[in-house]
Amino acid sequence: MRVISGRFKGHPLKAVPNMKTRPTTDKVKESLFHQIGPYFDGGSALDLFAGSGNLGIEAISRGMSSVVFVDHQYPAIQTVKDNVKKLKISDQCEIFRNDAIRAVKAAGKHGKKFDYIFLDPPYRKVSFDKIFNQLIKADVLVEGAMVICEHDPNDELPLDLKQFEVVKQDTYSSTISITIFSYNLGGKL
């Protein structure tokens, strides 16, 4: 696993030392960033279910100003910390070990707002509806924010929430789909 573009292009990233995470492949990551960027002029992101920090670190490499990394697994958090330290980007990162819903609530209480949310949860073990509803309730999204979901093609996504519009949806294999949502505070026009 490595950073594929930007200022840290080619730098290897440490993987989480267990089989409980599923790193985003280079092919999927490249496609994802070409759809939402591919480069950024600042902005903030939340890498929920961060695993190794692969997506958030790629965003920083491509110009994102700051990323909050959240995972509930201790080995994942240690891996994110190691990767961030190795690239010397600690000043652009916050790293928390927490449950996704609690993390979003805490971000809202601290007045955090995000331009991008990366959601790459364990397949079929998380309610996307609950997460999206918590993002709305905690008021952590700026107008036009993008929520990027990596998921199993059979996962149920919250396609009926009026504040979110599907911008792009691609299936890469029988087990990997990416759906990108745009947030509109006032709902669909």
Give pLDDT tens digits for 126-170. Answer: 889 999 999 999 999 999 999 999 998 888 888 888 899 999 998
Lowest mean pLDDT among 61-65, 120-124, 146-150: 120-124
Confidence of residue 189 (pLDDT cuts 50, 70, 90): very low
Mean pLDDT of the chain: 92
Q: Is the pLDDT of residue 50 over 90?
A: yes
Q: Identify the CA nearest to 63 among candidates 3, 2, 148, 135.
A: 3
pLDDT at site 21? 64
Tokens of 187: 């709902």
pTM over cut 0.85: yes
pLDDT at site 123? 75
Instruction: Return the amino acid letter for 179.
Output: T
Instruction: Return the amino acid letter for 5.
Output: S
Please state, in angstroms and rounded to a whole number, the distance separating the CA atoms of residues 98 and 142. 22
pLDDT in tens, 19-36: 666 678 888 899 899 999
What separation, in Å, do the N-terminal and C-terminal C-alpha atoms of the chain show? 41
SS3 assignment, position 57: helix
Sequence-distant (6+) residues with CB within 8 A of 75 are: 16, 17, 18, 20
Report the phi/psi class of residue 126: left, alpha or beta, with left for phi > 0 and alpha for psi in -120 to 50.
beta
Please state, in angstroms and rounded to a whole number, the distance separating the CA atoms of residues 92 and 114. 14
Domain 26-183 is in which class? alpha beta
Q: Where are the domains of the chain?
A: 26-183
Using the structure block, give the residue that is written with the tokens 């958090």: 77
Instruction: Return the amino acid letter for 137.
Output: K
pLDDT at site 187? 59
Q: Is the pLDDT of residue 188 over 60?
A: no
Sequence length of the chain is 189
Return the percent helix, strand and coil in the chain, to nearest 5. 30, 25, 45
Provide φ and ψ at 88, rounded to 5°: 60, 50
